[in-house]
Amino acid sequence: MYRWRAAPGRHPRGTWHVLALHQKESNNNMSDGLGWVNVPAHWWDLMAPPPAFNVIVVAAELASEGNSDMAASIVVDARQDPRWLGIAGVRTLAGLLAGHGAHERFNQLRADLIDRAAHQHGDDIDDRVTASLEAVSMAECYERQQMGRLAELTSGSPFGPRETATVAAQLVGGIVAIAAGDDTRPIFSALRDRFGITR
């Protein structure tokens, strides 16, 4: 079960409030050309720049420690092109769940998100869960190389790539925390090596 870890004493809705403040700037139809609708199809075949992956890994590591608000702030404040952040987030989530049994892992993650939504209420929670479910679907499409379906999801998304990157990083952090327990360092170290990130 991929349960999200909440930091002690933190309001569970706090992270999405950070995103909501940024929503007007990073919706999918941005006039500055940085929304999902402006992602060239071939970008998905390229490796996102290491600084973009670094943002995702740093945010995911914070999320794995229960610091979801700080994880969100890292992505929201990042200076990288949000389109690369979105791609890096989706690809990292896809890579973490890929391999034998991936279908079951994606479905379990969806079920956990829906269960979470059933026990919490509010428009911001609904938006957060919707964005998370959408990120999971994007990651599954990428893992299966269903690029046409992935293009449909991104072009029709009400969320921008920065929002997708944020929830993807939080999901990655939660999954790593469940899988690794108290010692998440080897997994994040392996992710840094894979993406060419130097500390």
- Residue pLDDT, tens place only, 84-123: 999 999 999 999 999 999 999 999 999 999 988 777 766 6
pLDDT of residue 62: 93
CB atoms within 10 A of CB 171: 26
* 97 assigned to some structural domain: yes
* 183 assigned to some structural domain: yes
* 64 assigned to some structural domain: yes
Q: Tell me the residue range of the domain where 60 lies.
A: 49-194
Rounded mean pLDDT, 17-23? 45
122's tokens: 């509010």
Closest by Cα among 133, 121, 145, 198 to 170: 133
Could you give the angle at which helices 161-180 and 50-64 cross, rounded to 10 degrees?
A: 50
Length of the chain: 199
What is the C-alpha separation between 162 and 58, in angstroms, rounded?
15
* 29 assigned to some structural domain: no
pLDDT of residue 150: 95
pLDDT of residue 125: 65
* 19 assigned to some structural domain: no
pLDDT of residue 192: 85
Q: Name which residue leads in pLDDT, 14 or 191.
A: 191
* Domain count within the chain: 1
What is the C-alpha separation between 146 and 139, in angstroms, rounded?
10
The CA-atom distances, in angstroms, between 134 and each of 3, 86, 113, 181, 184 are 17, 12, 11, 26, 26
96's tokens: 């973490």
Can you give the three-state secondary structure of 63-100, one letter per residue? HHCCCHHHHHHHHHHCCCCHHHHHHHHHHHHHHHHCCC
* 174 assigned to some structural domain: yes
Rounded mean pLDDT, 41-59? 92
Rounded mean pLDDT, 150-166? 93
* 16 assigned to some structural domain: no
* 9 assigned to some structural domain: no
